[in-house]
Structure 1
Amino acid sequence: MFEQLVSKLPVGIGIVDEQFNVVYLNDFFLDRLPHELRKNYKEQPVTDLFKGQGKFLQRRLKSVFVLQHPSFSYWEQRPHIFPFKSSRPITGEETQMYQNMEIIPIKDNSSGRKLACIFLQDVTAQASYFRAQQKLSQALKKEHAEQRKLIRKLDTAQSQLIQAEKMASTGQLAAGIAHEINNPIGFVTANLDTLSQYATHLLSICDGVESQITHFTEEMQEQIQSLYDSNHYALLKDDITELIDESSEGLTRVRDIVENLKNFSLETAEGYQTIEVCTVAKQLITLISAQYAKPEYKFECAHEKLEVIGDPGTLKQALMNVMVNSAQAIEDKGFIKLSIVEHDNDVSFKILDSGCGIEQKNLKRIFEPFFTTKPEGQGQGLGLSVAYTAIEKHNGKVSISSKEGKGTVVQITIPKYPAQNVQQEEDSASEQPEQENL
């Protein structure tokens, strides 16, 4: 009866020996194995049965056997350890299973053999609820902030000026924060480099002692070997370099994101100036991919150094608004491709995405201020309106085509050099007081 109960429990239970071979799997695991493996799974390496996370499982199992302490892995840290699907109870929709895993060291009382018991819990419902609550909380915060702004400024209907002022402040704040973050990143990176050298030296010393152990007395050999075993030297040697390398890679990624944020946000001069559009595009992709990681980002530019004359702040804002819209239109996997093409007198930016697309009836209104198809509280309908105004300011053109369920293409074309009257209007506006638009 106990074995039947364990077999039918709605959690995964698997037992593995020190060679990582499977001793037992309950129905939770067996039902998710291919049919040809269900009867012959015993004595098969768990890393062969579940190859996707084989290295991670092997590291966790090895630490449990060596340290004889439980090991935990929660869905926030590693959502999908095993390639299982989870079915929603009401809709029946299958999604990738979110999992909590615990590995506990156990012992076979009859043979004295060390084993590890893997407990796997399907927490897809809890994870989905938690993530939905997070999104709802963020949406509510954003809605409250937008409502406060709209109450103050709806009477003017100058959405472009509102967004420009807001982004200017945000850009200055972002650049200041990026500068402050760079300081701790610098000394942490330096300390980690030094730590890596120290670890290399210590491992060399330990390996040197190990290679010369036969020259010591038998008593000394036993003491040294006991010291190595009690401190789990084999596990430490196998793990420490990889841990330091992973930490260094993480710091490098953070540093790159911060540097791109600072370069993208901070403008040292006002008005029209030379803009390296390829550099701006790469910075933009780095920043957006840090926030929206699901799409695959592609970039094409015929020339590495392609320059135009324009207002960097408004041009960056226009490109960012279009790219963010593309990223938000992709719910799961997909791609965003940014292509820059140079013509005789102008430059074209083509943003292609594989998102949900736009209904044909909405295409004519897509650039209207305050028009949005997003749920209430998740957008105020200013992004594309601001982008359109920014491109008009550069005497450029914006075109958009879309197929619902297929994706969207936005093409922005601006002249390489602004018309002379545009620059004169800029200079004139800076010298004369503002007049109310009627």
Structure 2
Amino acid sequence: MNNPLLDKLPVGICLVNQAYEITYLNAFFIDRMPPDTADAAIGKPLAEVFPEQIRFLKRRLKSVFVLKHPSFSYWEQRPHIFPFKSSRPITDEETQMVQNMEIVPHKDQASGELFGCILIQDVTAQASYFKAQAALADELKAEHEAQRKLIRKLDRAQSQLIQAEKLASTGQLAAGIAHEINNPMGFITANLNTLEQYGRNLLEACHDCEQLIAAKAPDCLDDVTALFAARHLELVEEDIEPLIQESKDGLERVKDIVSTLRTFAQEPQHAWGHLNLNETVEQLIKLVSTQFKHARFKATCTPDNLRWYCESASIKQALTNLVINAAQSITDTGLVLIDIKHADSAIVIKIVDTGCGINESDLPRIFEPFFSTRAEGKGQGLGLSVVYSVIERHKGKLRVNSRPGKGTVMEVYLPQLQDNDTQQKTTSTASNAQTESL
């Protein structure tokens, strides 16, 4: 099929039949394909011409063939569908083409055959403009934040004054939210189980009807088969069980996170008792890993199920701050290791990360309130200050080893305390913090 008008359009057109074979390519498509591929593409399977894209394209085409509705893919979701190049209007610089794709159903009027018409639009220039505008917006936002720097410093001072109260209320709020989430999760899970059984019963009823009609009224069998095909019974049967199972798996994940959150937040503020450090670290990793998916977390505790007498809520808060700091220092991928050992009437907690590290000039100040090495607006500079205060109350020590570009080791030393120790106020000389370079 040759159509000069279609060849002049600034849009790529590829026609594919229901056997997923290419039946037509316009000039836009052919000009951007390798010459040896373009010449012999007509009549070939789509998988042979575009092997890397076939999985994505076949899924979209199948949807169009079955539902007879257009399918869209915008560049924000998948910018480079086909391996095409695009030239800049002024500089002629070649770059990878950013594409919008639409697949529309097309029925041949003469033969009645259904095709999928793949339309490709080059939006490289528009995408570049959009990214430039987004970058400009980020710059303006950064400037705006810089202008509000003094106001934020005042806000931080207020934040430190109410920090202890916030920690208590946050724990109570988290436990309350977890309880409220559990209620709808219960009936959603029950409803999904019921829907799963209903689905099986309906599908079995359809198959039983088909068999019954085949035996009792064979003349109607073709009509029933056509009816089932028109309602996509085969697709429903194929899809319904995985969809329900995926939903149930998602609910199990939510249930696990909620359970961990409730357990982690249930410690009363300022209460002293024996805390299971092994369970605490496992719960902490579950919670933090949902936020920092780019980092890997690993925990070791010797001995297993180590229980330690401490102010449980504040130790949990200190560990949380240290682990979050470690995860935040990792920009791409990396490891956060939590190692706990009991020896000589004390415990040593090491939190090791492979993140960006801390500059030597910043090490002496990292425990100061409001001091932060992160960008403005990304942190209040209170996390390590809170950790220092907690370790001080426990008559412990905190040592930091760090090297820029290599990572950081936070080492917490906590001596064994008795009930009478917790009734005495500790002085600032009872605890010290040391900072070193690796």
Q: TM-score, with normalisation over the residues of structure 2?
A: 0.76
Corresponding residue for residue 433 of structure 1: none
The answer for the alignment partner of 1:45 in structure 2 is: 47
Task: Give secondary structure in 2 for the equivalent of 1:296.
Answer: strand
Contact 2:156 2:380 in 1 (8 A): no
Aligned 1:153-302 pairs, distance under 5 A: 153=157, 159=160, 162-268=162-268, 270-302=270-302
Query: Residue 202 and residue 129 in structure 1: after superposition, are their counterparts in 2 closer, same or farther (change >3 A)?
Result: farther
Return the offset for 1:234: 0.9
Judged with a 3 Å threshold, the aligned counterparts in structure 2 of structure 1 residues 218 and 211 are, in CA distance, closer, same or farther, namely: closer
Q: Is the 8 A contact 2:273 2:310 kept in 1?
A: yes
Q: Pick which of 301-310 and 132-141 moved more.
A: 132-141
- Whether the aligned pair in 1 keeps the contact of 2:104 and 2:117 (CA below 8 Å) is yes
Structure 1's 305 and 376: CA in aligned 2 closer, same or farther, altered over 3 A?
same
Read off the aligned partner of 1:363 and give its amino acid letter.
L
Tell me: CA distance 1:46–1:388, structure 2 relative to 1, closer, same or farther (3 Å).
Answer: farther
Output one character per residue of 1:233-257: Cα deviation in whole Å (capped at 9) or x when no partner. 0111111111111111222222222
Corresponding letter in the other structure for 1:361: S
Task: Please give the alpha-carbon distance, in whole angstroms, between the structure 2 residues aligned to 1:383 and 1:336.
Answer: 17
Contact 1:61 1:116 in 2 (8 A): yes
Corresponding residue for 1:424? 423
Q: Deviations over 1:123-172 (max 9, x none)?
A: 9765897799799989999x989957945846xxx94x632222212221
* Conservation of the 8 A alpha-carbon contact between 2:297 and 2:335: yes
Q: Distance in 2 between matches of 1:304 and 1:132?
A: 53
Whole-Å separation in 1 of the counterparts to 2:399 and 2:31: 51
Give the residue type in structure 1 aligned to 2:372: T
Residue equivalent to 1:17? 17
Q: 1:331 Cα shift?
A: 2.6
Pick closer, same or farther for the CA change 1:314–1:25 going to 2, 3 Å. Answer: farther
* Unpaired runs of at least 5, structure 2: 89-95, 427-438
**Are residues 1:319 and 2:328 paired?**
no
Q: Whose relative contact order is higher, 1 or 2, with alpha carbons under 8 Å and at least 6 apart?
A: 1
- Unaligned segments of structure 1, at least 5 residues: 90-95, 428-438
Q: Secondary structure of the equivalent of 1:367?
A: coil
2-side partners of 1:369 and 1:163: how far apart? 12
Q: Distance in 2 between matches of 1:26 and 1:354?
A: 52
Map residues 22-421 of structure 1 onto 2, 5 A cutoff.
42-45=44-47, 49-50=51-52, 54=55, 58-72=58-72, 102-108=102-108, 112-118=112-118, 126=130, 147=151, 150-151=154-155, 153=157, 159=160, 162-268=162-268, 270-415=270-415, 417-419=416-418
The one-letter amino acid of 1:243's match is L
Name the CA distance, whole Å, in 1 between partners of 2:400 and 2:30: 50
Counterparts in 2 of 1:13 and 1:386: CA distance versus 1, 3 Å: farther
- CA deviation digits over 1:47-70, x for unaligned, max 9? 98237x93x654443222111112
Report what 1:92 is aligned to. Answer: none
Aligned twin of 1:436? none
Mean CA deviation greater in 256-265 or 201-210: 201-210
- Which whole-Å CA distance do the structure 1 matches of 2:242 and 2:253 have between them? 17
The amino acid across from 2:190 in the alignment is A
Q: Which amino acid is 1:342 matched to? A: H
Larger radius of gyration: 2
Read off the aligned partner of 1:348 and give its amino acid letter.
V
Tell me if the contact between 1:14 and 1:25 (Cα under 8 Å) persists in the aligned partners. yes
Secondary structure of 2:362 counterpart: helix
**How many residue pairs get matched?**
409
1:307-351 Cα shifts (integer Å, max 9, x gaps):
111111111111111122222222333332323333342333322
**Cα distance per residue 1:72-105 (max 9 Å; x no partner):** 45678x6689598999x9xxxxxx9998654322
Query: Separation in 2 of the partners of 1:79 and 1:400?
Result: 43
Cα RMSD over matched residues? 4.4
User: Aligned letter for 2:286?
Assistant: T
The one-letter code of the counterpart of 2:403 is K
- The CA deviation at 1:184 is 0.9
SS at match of 2:413: strand
